[in-house]
Amino acid sequence: MRSILAIAATLSAVALVAACSSSQTDSSSTSAGAPITVFAAASLTATFTELGARFERENPGATVAFNFAGSSDLATQLTQGAPADVFASADVNNMTKAVDAGLVAGEPVNFATNSLTIVTQPGNPTGITTFADLAKPGTQVVVCAPQVPCGAATEKVERATGVTLTPVSEESAVTDVLGKVTSGQADAGLVYVTDAVGARDDVTAIPFPEAGDAVNTYPITVLEDSPNPVAAQTFVNLVTGPAGQEALAAAGFAAP
């Protein structure tokens, strides 16, 4: 009898441990202290890296892995099955691709806006002062490719001004445009205001009024197949909340 009772007690203990273990595993999807992967536009690199560190500090056990790239590349990766928890696009068009593909959970939230500026090498050695100056013969200009949000914005400005640019290269991310200018491979480039702010003394920024004709709106959303939707939503809440908005404003982003 005693052996039977001992065996029964042992089996009960094993079942309890298994149940607790299962409960702990399942709770990861309902806790902010879980790993998440964020796909975000390249222009968000500095700000989201800062917010990611804050998210990890405020949510013990949480980790954030970022994939920064051109929004069109990110949308393509997602529609092809790349796993992620959060998507933040530099324009509405690429977010719409994710929505139309049934990849998002709920309605995307607009959290920032951004506009273009001209950047040159420090001191503006080529004397560029207007958008039209970028079309002068011999001026080496770099822009984003048309499918990238900053490239689509550039095309809007061209149509609004009637000025057609002849770039020496079209890049897949705004950070690559900035890199061409800071490395001396181009006289000037069209980047976001935030990129110019982040580059500080490495470039000279030249604002132009026509940039107001091509302001990009940034939406963010939790993805439908997120394995950790609570953690993902907590990150989205950080971005759209007071702390996130303060960090974005400091980087040069405008309100949505």
User: What are the structural domains, with CATH classification, of the chain?
Assistant: 29-113+217-250 (3.40.190.10), 116-213 (3.40.190.10)
Encode pLDDT of 237-249 as tens digits: 999 999 999 999 9
Two structure tokens written together for 244:
């996130």
pLDDT band at 4 (very low <50, low <70, confident <90, very high): very low
Dihedrals φ, ψ of 94, to 5°?
-75, -30
| Structural contact between residues 72 and 94, judged by C-beta atoms closer than 8 angstroms | yes
- Using DSSP's 3-state secondary structure scheme, residue 44 falls into helix
Q: Answer yes or no: is pLDDT of 23 > 90.
A: no
Q: Answer yes or no: is pLDDT of 126 > 90.
A: yes
pLDDT score of 20: 42
Query: pTM of the prediction?
Result: 0.82
With CA atoms as reference, report the closest residue to 173 among 58, 80, 42: 42
| Structural contact between residues 165 and 228, judged by C-beta atoms closer than 8 angstroms | no
Mean pLDDT throughout 190-198? 94
Give Rg (Cα) of the chain. 24
Angle made by CA atoms 84, 86, 90, in degrees to the nearest 5: 115
| Structural contact between residues 174 and 144, judged by C-beta atoms closer than 8 angstroms | yes
pLDDT score of 31: 75
Q: Give the whole-angstrom CA distance, residue 104 versus residue 237.
A: 16
pLDDT score of 33: 83
User: What distances in angstroms separate CA 132 from CA 65, 141, 151, 162, 184, one per listed residue?
Assistant: 41, 12, 17, 9, 21
Q: Answer yes or no: is pLDDT of 15 > 70.
A: no
88 or 5, which is more confident = 88
Bridge partners of 74? none
Q: Give the whole-angstrom CA distance, residue 153 versus residue 146.
A: 8
Q: Give the whole-angstrom CA distance, residue 69 versus residue 28.
A: 28
- 47's enclosing H/E stretch is helix 45-58
